Amino acid sequence: MEVLEKAIERALDGGWDMFGWKPALVSWSIRKSDGALRVNIRVGSNPPSVQTIVYSLEAVIFDLDFAKALFGEGLDGGRPAWKFRIQDLAISTDRLK
């Protein structure tokens, strides 16, 4: 879970909008029981409330915008960096270096 948490932080810093919820984002966490991503967002304005949306790990890992924000869109080996890094990630033992 720690690796995924670091990857999510890195992707958010890289501009990932967390499935479009970043402007309303209150907090997020990884659910220990099944590893799902819990996103808490602010809804409404008078008074605002918090709603929780749950995404599977697969939804996060295979999200194109997540990959682009995590690995960047510059070129690496003649290919977009995010494509190169995802392929490398699949075979790497230390996935975030």
pLDDT tens-digit readout, 49-95: 999 999 998 888 888 899 889 888 787 777 787 877 777 766 766 65
pLDDT tens for 14-41 read 999 999 999 999 999 998 888 889 999 9
Give me the pLDDT at residue 69, please.
Answer: 92
**CA-CA distance, 61 to 42, in Å (whole number)?**
24
Q: Where are the domains of the chain?
A: 2-91
For residue 23, count CB atoms less than 10 angstroms from its CB and return exposed for 0-12, middle for 13-18, buried for 19 or more: exposed
Closest CA to 57 of 3, 20, 12: 3
Closest CA to 30 of 50, 9, 73, 1: 1
**CA-CA distance, 13 to 89, in Å (whole number)?**
19
Give me the pLDDT at residue 53, please.
Answer: 94
Give me the pLDDT at residue 11, please.
Answer: 93
Give me the pLDDT at residue 52, please.
Answer: 93
Give me the pLDDT at residue 4, please.
Answer: 83
Whether the CB-CB separation of 21 and 31 falls below 8 Å is answered with no
Give me the pLDDT at residue 94, please.
Answer: 61
Q: Where are the alpha helices (DSSP H) in the chain?
A: 2-13, 57-61, 64-71, 81-91
